[in-house]
A and B are shown apart, each in its own frame.
Chain A
Amino acid sequence: MFEQMQNWYDKRHAYAKEWKKNHPGGKVLGCFCTYVPEELVYAAGVLPVRLLGSHEPQSVTEPHIFGMYCPFCRDVLAQGLQKRYDYLDGITISQSCLHIRQAYTSWQMHVPTGFSYYLPMPNCVQSPHALSYLKGEFLAFKNALEKWTGNEITDEKLRQATELVNTNRRLMRQVYDLRKQDNPPMTGLEAMYMVVSSQMTDKNDHSKLLEKILKELPGRKMDRQTGARLMIIGSEDDDTAFIKMVESVGATLVVDDHCTGTRQFWNETELKGDVLTSIAKRYIDRPACPSKDWPERRRLPHILKLAKDFNAKGAIIIQQKFCDPHELDIPAIIKDLKKNGIPSLFLEFDVTVPIGPFRTRVEAFLEMIGQDDLF
């Protein structure tokens, strides 16, 4: 049922090239972060694709990024340096963490594309002034997109694009809702393919497939046991090998807090009054990346609510090695979950994860939260 999505994910480059063939004159924009307003990009007639790594060891980034920065940002840059995204017409990043910003700046210098744009997304999204600031920056971004594509971005086009993106978000939430069932009709791996592929395909295609899936999904019978219901929390995560391993040892992932997951699509843009302001508000209010979750810790109640709504019995907390923003949240998250009766397991991710040692940790965690009958 989700094979097509896996296919999109596995063959992301083929998809984008095909898209360009079918959209003469259409441009593809590589995005380094999910704070890039997809609404604006679609309104310009451009396909945004999230730039992700390939989970393969590489040796090309060492001259460009010092090894203490997160493996994800190096893996992403490696894709560019190895010319795997040679079809991109432009790249953009919205301000989030410094790690990924290096992948962007090095890409800009060494894999030049026609267009590159740094969008200064405010870090203090909790400030009352963040909205008007971001609106101003969205306006500048809109102007840059217009200049680049030659397409005027009218309010009408922005509304249509918002509807397109919102629909996709809404459909994914409907799929997620089904994971609340006692025996979810899908695996966490499938959910991962769904959300990640939505970041690299045309929302028209993706939503169409989602509608089809939503018709069949409620009645789907799984030929596996649900086992322990787990939540997964952390940074970027498209480590399918890891997810597969977790779900093969007696667990099902039922919900996540990842930017390759719920953080990207959880809330919709509510069109009220000025269109750009409405869109800006959506990005200010979305579930925050830890780099923007201050001075108040708003991620904590959000994560807890997800855990409760989806009836998670435990949480796996993952973090890209060296990821400072997540490292600065994790002790608070572990403490908060524990206080609320949800045990957690912390793991540090690299480009390739050592499946063996991690399997031991995950299995031991599952034994810890279950297997009472052996005592």
Chain B
Amino acid sequence: MAKEYWRWPEYRMTVGEKDWKSGKIITAGIDVGSVSSKTAIMVDGELYAFSLMRTGSNSPDSAQKTLNWALETTGIAQKDLHYIVGTGYGRINIPFANKAITEIACHARGANYVWGNTVRTVLDMGGQDCKAIKCDEKGKVTAFLMNDKCAAGTGRGMEVFSDLLAVPIEEVGELSFKVETEPQPVSSTCVVFAKSEALGLLRQGWPKEKVLAAYCSAMAHRVVTLLEKVGVEKDFVVTGGISKNVGVLKRVEKELKTTALPRNAKYDPQLAGAMGAALFAKALVEKERK
């Protein structure tokens, strides 16, 4: 089997320092996306543990796996969870979740948690969709837009490219800056066309990094168009898998002439949705207990 360059690393961590048993409300947010599945475990609204893995071809399984993995070694059992909120594409099919909330609401809520209440615009770049979200100081969505057809498949598109160019997906972003001058973006962000265009460029003798630069900037441009339709207000943050790709992120910032708040070292931005879900779970528990 050939090396799968698109495969990004899966991982889990326990970050909570105090004893979870002293917590009053223990919740989980499970984000089953089109490409990745994430679980955030929270104790009294503080991130305690999480996991991030690839979504399989069955969403209840994916949800269960990512939850189990997040709980692993923490000593928390599934039955100890007071409430579970599911989100992401697979949210409608997580049998053990108490409630489903969309990833749009969850990303806004999660961003508010990670970066604080000054966040007003969230850009979520996921596997299938891109979302430009505006929210208030509580992290409640006030407006949102999702990509149209021609810009679908953002994350998947990046996987296709990393495979095509035999560049490990985590290195795509950095590599795309190893060009002397920024090339014209590829004319299309459509995965199908971009791929055939890229092949043509390679045959013309373009180096990989230049092709990647052209693709990253095309993707950035498309995302910026979406953002401009909603209107970008500060503070601006980026979540989702592609947010880790500096090749896209920096080009988005450059075109918007705005910088996003820097990545909060404590939290993986791909987890924002799961964290938002876990926070909603907490709010729902509080509502029930009232």
Contact status B283-A363, CB under 8 Å: no
Contact status A373-B287, CB under 8 Å: yes
Q: Knowing A356-B89, A360-B89 are in contact, say whether A367-B101 is a contact too (CB < 8 A).
A: yes
User: How distant is the Cα of A43 from the Cα of B138 in the complex, in angstroms?
Assistant: 62
Return the chain B residue nearest A366 by Cβ: B102
Return the chain A residue nearest B145 by Cβ: A346
B230 within 8 A of A: no
B141 within 8 A of A: yes
Q: Knowing A367-B104, A374-B280, A374-B284 are in contact, say whether A361-B142 is a contact too (CB < 8 A).
A: no
Could you say which interface size class chain B belongs to? 20 to 34
Partner of B105, one of A343, A357, A371, A373: A371
Contact status A360-B104, CB under 8 Å: yes
**In the assembled complex, which residues on chain B have CB atoms less than 8 Å from the CB atom of A357?**
128-129, 146
Residues from 331 to 371 in A contacting B, C-beta threshold 8 Å: 343, 348, 356-357, 359-361, 363-364, 367-368, 371
**In the assembled complex, which residues on chain B have CB atoms less than 8 Å from the CB atom of A359?**
92
User: How distant is the Cα of A198 from the Cα of B110 in the complex, in angstroms?
Assistant: 48
Partner of A368, one of B141, B280, B283: B141
User: How distant is the Cα of A360 from the Cα of B146 in the complex, in angstroms?
Assistant: 10
Partner of A375, one of B92, B103, B104, B138: B138
Contact status B89-A367, CB under 8 Å: no
Return the chain A residue nearest B279 by Cβ: A374
B115 within 8 A of A: no
Q: What distance in Å separates the Cβ of B231 from its nearest Cβ neighbour in chain A?
A: 12
Q: What distance in Å separates the Cβ of B24 from its nearest Cβ neighbour in chain A?
A: 18
B139 within 8 A of A: yes
Contact status B104-A372, CB under 8 Å: no
User: 1/0 contact trace for B90-111 toward A, CB 8 Å?
Assistant: 0010000000011111000000
B143 within 8 A of A: yes
Return the chain A residue nearest B147 by Cβ: A357
Contact status A361-B146, CB under 8 Å: yes
**In the assembled complex, which residues on chain B have CB atoms less than 8 Å from the CB atom of A371?**
105, 140
Return the chain A residue nearest B140 by Cβ: A375
User: How distant is the Cα of A375 from the Cα of B146 in the complex, in angstroms?
Assistant: 23
Number of residues on chain A facing chain B (CB within 8 A): 16
Contact status B140-A360, CB under 8 Å: no
Contact status B102-A375, CB under 8 Å: no
B267 within 8 A of A: no
**In the assembled complex, which residues on chain B have CB atoms less than 8 Å from the CB atom of A368?**
104-105, 140-144
B148 within 8 A of A: yes
**In the assembled complex, which residues on chain B have CB atoms less than 8 Å from the CB atom of A363?**
101-102
Return the chain B residue nearest A350 by Cβ: B149
Q: What distance in Å separates the Cβ of A274 from its nearest Cβ neighbour in chain B?
A: 49
Return the chain B residue nearest A360 by Cβ: B102
Contact status A375-B144, CB under 8 Å: no
User: How distant is the Cα of A371 from the Cα of B108 in the complex, in angstroms?
Assistant: 14
Return the chain B residue nearest A347 by Cβ: B146
Contact status A375-B148, CB under 8 Å: no
Return the chain A residue nearest B280 by Cβ: A374
User: How distant is the Cα of A252 from the Cα of B92 in the complex, in angstroms?
Assistant: 20
**In the assembled complex, which residues on chain B have CB atoms less than 8 Å from the CB atom of A364?**
102-105, 141, 144
Return the chain B residue nearest A348 by Cβ: B148
User: How distant is the Cα of A367 from the Cα of B287 in the complex, in angstroms?
Assistant: 17
Residues from 131 to 157 in B contacting A, C-beta threshold 8 Å: 138-144, 146, 148-149
Contact status A375-B283, CB under 8 Å: yes
Q: Knowing A357-B146, A375-B140 are in contact, say whether A367-B102 is a contact too (CB < 8 A).
A: yes
Q: What distance in Å separates the Cβ of B126 from its nearest Cβ neighbour in chain A?
A: 11
Q: What distance in Å separates the Cβ of B86 from its nearest Cβ neighbour in chain A?
A: 12
Contact status A375-B139, CB under 8 Å: yes
Q: What distance in Å separates the Cβ of B114 from its nearest Cβ neighbour in chain A?
A: 16
Return the chain B residue nearest A361 by Cβ: B146
User: How distant is the Cα of A368 from the Cα of B135 in the complex, in angstroms?
Assistant: 9
Partner of A360, one of B103, B284, B287: B103
User: How distant is the Cα of A96 from the Cα of B140 in the complex, in angstroms?
Assistant: 42
Q: What distance in Å separates the Cβ of A95 from its nearest Cβ neighbour in chain B?
A: 30
Return the chain A residue nearest B131 by Cβ: A364
User: How distant is the Cα of A343 from the Cα of B145 in the complex, in angstroms?
Assistant: 13
**In the assembled complex, which residues on chain A have CB atoms less than 8 Å from the CB atom of B283?**
373-375
Q: In the complex, which of the residues A343, A348, A372, A374 has the most CB atoms of chain B within 10 Å of its own CB atom? A: A374
**In the assembled complex, which residues on chain B have CB atoms less than 8 Å from the CB atom of A356?**
89
Q: What distance in Å separates the Cβ of A369 from its nearest Cβ neighbour in chain B?
A: 9
**In the assembled complex, which residues on chain A have CB atoms less than 8 Å from the CB atom of B143?**
343, 368
Interface residues of B (CB under 8 A from A): 89, 92, 101-105, 128-129, 138-144, 146, 148-149, 280, 283-284, 287
- 24 residue pairs A–B, Cβ–Cβ below 8 Å: A343-B143, A348-B148, A356-B89, A360-B89, A361-B146, A363-B101, A364-B103, A364-B104, A364-B105, A364-B141, A364-B144, A367-B104, A367-B105, A367-B141, A368-B142, A371-B140, A372-B140, A373-B283, A373-B287, A374-B283, A374-B284, A374-B287, A375-B138, A375-B139
The list of the 3 closest CB pairs from A to B, nearest first, reads A364-B104, A375-B138, A364-B102
User: Assuming A360-B146, A361-B146, A375-B283, what are 20 further A-B pairs, CB within 8 angstroms?
Assistant: A348-B149, A357-B129, A360-B104, A363-B101, A363-B102, A364-B102, A364-B105, A364-B141, A364-B144, A367-B101, A367-B104, A368-B104, A368-B105, A368-B140, A368-B141, A371-B105, A373-B287, A374-B280, A374-B287, A375-B140
